[in-house]
Structure 1
Amino acid sequence: MLTLNSLVEARDYEGILRYAREFHGHVCPYLALGIRASIIAMEELGVGRLDYEGSVDERILAIVESNSCFADGVQVTTGCTLGNNSLIYLDLGKTALTLVKRSDWTGVRVYADGERLRKYYPPEAVELFDKVVKERRGTPEERKRLWELWEEIAYKMLRLPKDEFKVERVKVRPIEPAPIFESVRCSRCNELAMASRIVYRNGKPFCLKCAGEKYYAVIGRGIVEVKGDEV
């Protein structure tokens, strides 16, 4: 199988989607939309997928505005991931990607309007999505039919014309590279945690969870504040 870098360079959309399926778990319209938006942003910005050096240096950043299937399409296509610190998540609930170069902080923002794209969805797909996904019900046959329709729509999303998107040049405020923190061992659970996530009580170090302090989690509805063992 060809590498992802070579598939992106060749604009092999179907090949990229095959990789994305393995990463994401299934094929759906917004996964494909993330791929298409990424290619548009990369072409506008004149950059390729992150290579080894680029991912270590965080040379390119992808800023996504929702934690949906769209974000996984972006991660696969651009090579900017949560783990290599090149993916920034803004909890805005918009289907949008901004790709930016650290060298001069110039970027391209690509926004997809869900209402505008409704014309690519047959009524059957919308009805099944509401029943199977939104309402968490539906027969096995209905679920299977939805995935079939979802895949058909996804292939349409891969080839959407550029003018279906809002594409604009942007200037991004500099974002610090990911700092390297020392690790400190929690005096209660005996596990290591980043020093920036340690609090001290009577001179002893505690991780935020053991200390019962508030911290943040990304769950289905976005970024939420939690405390202790709430998540």
Structure 2
Amino acid sequence: MLNLNRLVEERDAEGILEYAREFHGHVCPYLALGIRASLVAMEQLGVGRLDYSGSVDESILAIVESNSCFADGVQVTTGCTLGNNSLVYLDLGKTALTLVKRSSWEGVRVYADAERLAKYYPPGSRELFNRVVEERRGTPEERSKLWELWEEAARRILNMPKEEFKIERVKVPPVEQAPIFDSVRCSKCGELVMGTRVVYVGGKPLCLRCAGERYLGVVGRGIVEFKGGE
């Protein structure tokens, strides 16, 4: 099995893409874009992929501004993930990555403009995407053709020049490290829940769902509100 850290160190974008294929489920242009943007940001900032000690300390943070395929390319390449608390998601709807050192809060923001990427797509691929993915009415043959064209576009984007990105040095406001909270058992469902997500009704602890309270979640369109009991 190939070593992902070594692939990133060697800037082997094709090798990273194969890892990302397994992680993401398929290859697509914005997955490749996340890889390319990450490699550019890492080179500009002078950092490598987050290793064991770095992930525990959250020494590097990756801040993404959309929850698209782009974010998975970033997670695979940088090692900054939602689960190790080194990935920050800002619901801004922009294809941008900010990579930042926690030690100094100096960072690099890399933004990709969709209009500048149009030339990397094979003829007819965007129209086919609209039919197969957006309209959900493509035939099996059209779906197969789309994945073929999508891989072609991905590999073009994977090797595009860094001049295609808007790159800027930034100073990021400090982000707290992930705190550790005690758990409390919900008096209704009996499940343990983070203490900061408990409400007390009649002196009894309830999770937000059992209490019928509103809470936030991330779906395809971004951060949305849910209500317990529904």
Alignment of 1:136-155 (within 5 A): 136-155=136-155
Shift of 1:119: 1.1
> % of aligned pairs identical?
78
Q: Deviations over 1:161-191 (max 9, x none)?
A: 0100000000000000010000000001100
More displaced 10-residue stretch of structure 1: 77-86 or 112-121: 112-121
Q: TM-score, normalised by structure 2?
A: 0.99
Q: Which amino acid aligns with 1:176?
A: E
More displaced 10-residue stretch of structure 1: 78-87 or 122-131: 122-131
Tell me the secondary structure at the aligned position of residue 181 of structure 2: coil
More displaced 10-residue stretch of structure 1: 196-205 or 122-131: 122-131
Alignment of 1:28-39 (within 5 A): 28-39=28-39
Instruction: Give the distance between the partners of 1:67 and 1:126, measured in 2 at CA.
Output: 20
Instruction: Give the distance between the partners of 2:229 and 2:76, measured in 1 at CA.
Output: 32
Partner of 2:55: 55
Tell me the secondary structure at the aligned position of residue 124 of structure 2: helix
Are residues 1:90 and 2:95 paired? Answer: no
Instruction: Give the distance between the partners of 1:102 and 1:221, measured in 2 at CA.
Output: 29
User: RMSD over aligned Cα, in angstroms?
Assistant: 0.7
Alignment of 1:65-144 (within 5 A): 65-144=65-144
Are residues 1:215 and 2:215 paired? Answer: yes
Partner of 2:170: 170
Between the two proteins, the alignment pairs up a number of residues equal to 230
Q: Deviations over 1:89-109 (max 9, x none)?
A: 000010000000000000000
Q: Deviations over 1:55-109 (max 9, x none)?
A: 0000000000000000000000000000000000000010000000000000000
Instruction: Give the distance between the partners of 1:225 and 1:111, measured in 2 at CA.
Output: 28
Q: Deviations over 1:98-148 (max 9, x none)?
A: 000000000000000001111111231011000001111110000000000
More displaced 10-residue stretch of structure 1: 39-48 or 120-129: 120-129
Are residues 1:40 and 2:40 paired? Answer: yes
Q: Which runs of 5+ in 1 are unaligned?
A: none
Partner of 1:16: 16
Q: Which amino acid aligns with 2:23?
A: F
Shift of 1:223: 0.2
Runs of 4 or more above 4 Å deviation: none
Tell me the secondary structure at the aligned position of residue 35 of structure 1: helix
Instruction: Give the distance between the partners of 1:156 and 1:189, measured in 2 at CA.
Output: 51
Tell me the secondary structure at the aligned position of residue 115 of structure 1: helix
Q: TM-score, normalised by structure 1?
A: 0.98
Instruction: Give the distance between the partners of 1:194 and 1:160, measured in 2 at CA.
Output: 44
Instruction: Give the distance between the partners of 2:117 and 2:22, measured in 1 at CA.
Output: 25
Partner of 1:161: 161
Shift of 1:228: 1.1
Partner of 1:201: 201
Check conservation: 2:122, 2:152, Cα contact below 8 A: no
Shift of 1:229: 4.6
